[in-house]
Structure 1
């Protein structure tokens, strides 16, 4: 079964109503071993759901005002609710990057949008830079009129200065690895205020996608979640 192209457009419109973006998708190939769809049979197609810039933030805040302040992982919970409602409407199975066992979201995203990782590990987008995210995916039991993207221009290949590797006070990022303990200790420590309130200094040093840069309050929210502040 192949769903009409208009259905994909309606899915995109339903996500857009909450500030989310349809981030491409593809039909699984015979050798892919996909996860199950809503029927319990292997999925035939996947659509990636995410954000560009901080567009979902006002929608999330309105939802959060009505929730208990003690709610755990509020952004994940909101994303699951929104994407889950769209999945129910269109007969899909909604999955999240935090689901266990983990699904290969980064590989799916690279395939769907033709992206490559930046030195920080975040996928570099030719328009959004590092200021985007994937909030979930929709798995379908039938094929969709979508296909994997051709490789996008990788801006990191032409970036000579690599400021994203030179701004961290504790050199947590390098071409070889991310030193998580050093980053976490700094963010939680006495000298970590700039990171806690304004976000990762390495990420902010990237010159690409500046129009989509998350506002400081959004970056502070994510940093607090990262450091469990």
Structure 2
């Protein structure tokens, strides 16, 4: 089945997406249903590194009604759904209800751990990556397992990601959601609205994959709605 994984990766690359690893569900383990309704045996995670999908998304966005809700989610569902249809899989999204354990799947598939900001720290991409969906198969799909790597946050002494937010949104006690939201919406939140989260941008890892300001502004606008 390794050939199928390579074909899926090639199909995803047409829209700047990448295969982010695979979770195999053990016999008797609770698993979501596949295309036919039987329990899935494999979940191939689909996502991005850096802002590679952005030009593809923008070209699609130009052809859509301006009032469309959650356009990036809609685009992701369409693209991943088309790949799922080609390969006989069921496509699922992180925003599906009830929520599926995407973060747990990602930690299992890629051996990642959360950063102090909650975003999983990748040894190459830093905080500049995302998961856009998954393909659920009722067969086991062979995908090369990620090698265990050092958790970069453990080597970071200064922790600038915990010191750059004017609203002190992140601390050892967690994420102060309401304080962050009020700051981003307020008069002093312009740098966050136009250039992205200051704490996230302060992280020294994966800077070659940092999202451009317009991409970060898009996500901050969605957060502040």
Unaligned runs of 5+ in 2: none
| CA distance in 1 between partners of 2:150 and 2:28 (Å) | 27
Q: TM-score, normalised by structure 2?
A: 0.98
The corresponding residue for 1:77 is 74
Aligned alpha-carbon RMSD (Å): 0.9
| CA distance in 1 between partners of 2:144 and 2:177 (Å) | 35
Residue 6 of structure 1 deviates from its aligned partner by 1.0
Paired residue secondary structure (2:136): strand
| CA distance in 1 between partners of 2:14 and 2:145 (Å) | 25
Asked if the contact 1:36–1:42 (Cα under 8 Å) also holds between the matched residues in 2, the reply is: yes
Residue 153 of structure 1 deviates from its aligned partner by 1.6
The corresponding residue for 2:169 is 172
Q: TM-score, normalised by structure 1?
A: 0.96
Paired residue secondary structure (1:138): strand
* Matching residue within 1, 5, 30 for 2:2: 5
Unaligned runs of 5+ in 1: none
Asked if the contact 1:84–1:94 (Cα under 8 Å) also holds between the matched residues in 2, the reply is: yes
The corresponding residue for 1:23 is 20
Q: Is 1:60 paired with 2:57?
A: yes
| CA distance in 2 between partners of 1:219 and 1:184 (Å) | 15
* Matching residue within 117, 121, 144 for 2:114: 117
Number of residue-to-residue matches in the alignment: 225
For residues 124-135 of structure 1, what are the structure 2 equivalents within 5 Å? 124-135=121-132
| CA distance in 2 between partners of 1:168 and 1:30 (Å) | 45
* Matching residue within 205, 222, 225 for 1:225: 222
Paired residue secondary structure (1:106): helix
The corresponding residue for 1:106 is 103
Asked if the contact 1:26–1:147 (Cα under 8 Å) also holds between the matched residues in 2, the reply is: no
